Structure 1
């Protein structure tokens, strides 16, 4: 990736300009943090040795200055992040594959997240961003970062305590499967039902006459549980070759993936702990491996079409 940056004069100029902004933002944040710490120290010492209200007021002054600086530079930091995504990442993705488009403010809609049937809990709070879409040969695909949570409320003597729990955090990948499925087929991790944290269900969806599908791949059945309303169609989708490809794809993922085949689409959920596509603030933009991580995840998602052989059109849409 360093050769691409070095050989792209326009991109290098954009990075040089953004680096100036980044340094200003980083220094202002650093100064704000120092002022917050100084204010806390003055106030704590004043209270501890009993210097009185005047000394406490002296401590409030750097606190106020720090707050003003922090929120003033925060607007510039937001603009910096947007410029990085629209001017740097969008250009890099287009250089990687001219068919790719990058829409930082868009994502996978909540209704599609729900209708994928990958999760058993409806989100109470849903955020999505950084939509990447493209076409690999005959297959359209798109993916975005998603953070979905549900809340629980507990009555205490002091009132109601609200806690938020993660349903899913990572990337949702969607691809055209070139087949209008009669029913849905869902492949979830074997540990799905046992994980009472992120996967706990407060609002289980109804899947009608859904049954567990026993497949002829022991390794696949040991890793996943497959549900469908139509055993025949599920086996037609999950051919021996497809199961091997899913296992291979899963081996390259950070955590066990989930997959569903619904309507004419295939959905894949990749749980991830890392937030991609964000501009660094406290480290330089002018480093050779700046885009390596982001380009790698885009390439990984792009290659799913070939990994799962989605361009082999064994069906036509009915």
Structure 2
């Protein structure tokens, strides 16, 4: 990462030390509030649980015979109590991220940071890899240019609503990172998506949901791991080079992701990377804000994610566009990638 070589971890830590020292005062105040709330939570819960349990029992008696009996006062009370106790920790984490992550973002290019920002769903849905959902949450959004390429990345959480009688629950259909890269001018001729390989009904459902045809690639090992669907076989063969197989496996292992997907559409490339890890979080509230490891870990996380963009090689797509524009590659003519060419994505 060229931008990271301009400043060492130690120098960067020293450059933001005044901000960290101010955050340390915030941490101490929030820690004191958290410890106080935790101290009184146990006797408070001990006093409230019997009362709430009695109310629940009475509600169940009143609703006896109903198929939709609901009594959750005790659970709701405990949830509210937990939220109240842990609120100072969340407030400290938000203050830390709001102050420090913009400083880290500027190390990598012209990037800005919004703690509650999100990628517009109108940019994501046309990719054909966004699962059906009813609720969209997002946090830790970085937007701007990285090495001359427009990029937006964010942690996103997609949930599907399920109803049973009067009860409504939400099931997670995707939780992880979304990385959206936009080329400055050129557009892809077709629409190509890459998904984790599935068999039977799953493969049929993938094809139906995308409305694209299965791409016939030349690497059987690749096709054991991933499925590619496209409406432009020539472009798909150029974009999905067999050399990318090892890169994809390495990326999957590095992020501990069970499945992931990518899409080339319009002038954009979208990568969805499922992950249980919560990115860009400061250290525990017990750790001083001036501790260098927390800020260095955040910087390394952002650098690691941005390395995906380096592997996207979107300029290869620009080369394909130029080749077709000047007649060197007529539509329908197969373009064979040069031996040893770096993988086009991931």
Give the TM-score band, short-chain normalised. 0.7 to 0.9
Distance in 2 (alpha carbons) for counterparts of 1:194 and 1:206: 12
**Change beyond 3 A, Cα 1:30–1:307:** same
Offset, 1:42 = 7.1
Offset, 1:311 = 4.5
Q: Which has the higher helix share?
A: 2
Partner residue, 1:56: none
**Change beyond 3 A, Cα 1:111–1:33:** farther
1:52-86 CA distance string (max 9 Å, x none): xxxxxxxxxxxx9xx79975984x66653432222
**Change beyond 3 A, Cα 1:315–1:35:** farther
Distance in 2 (alpha carbons) for counterparts of 1:99 and 1:133: 8
Partner residue, 1:165: 171
8 Å CA contact retained: 2:105, 2:113: yes
Distance in 1 (alpha carbons) for counterparts of 2:104 and 2:190: 39
**Change beyond 3 A, Cα 1:243–1:262:** farther
Residue 281 of structure 2 is aligned to residue 278 of structure 1? yes
Partner residue, 1:309: 313
Q: Which moved more, 1:136-145 or 1:260-269?
A: 136-145
Name which of 130, 136, 142 aligns with 2:146.
136
Point out where structure 1 has 5 or more consecutive residues left out of the alignment.
47-63
Distance in 1 (alpha carbons) for counterparts of 2:99 and 2:285: 20
Offset, 1:299 = 0.8
8 Å CA contact retained: 1:129, 1:146: yes
Greater RCO, CA 8 A, separation 6+: 1
8 Å CA contact retained: 1:249, 1:307: no
**Structure 1-normalised TM-score?**
0.75
Point out where structure 2 has 5 or more consecutive residues left out of the alignment.
1-7, 55-76, 326-346
Partner residue, 1:30: 38
Residue 198 of structure 2 is aligned to residue 214 of structure 1? no
Query: What is the aligned-residue RMSD (CA, Å)?
Result: 3.7
Distance in 1 (alpha carbons) for counterparts of 2:120 and 2:208: 18
Distance in 1 (alpha carbons) for counterparts of 2:85 and 2:255: 40
Count of matched residue positions in the alignment of Structure 1 and Structure 2 = 288
Partner residue, 2:195: 188
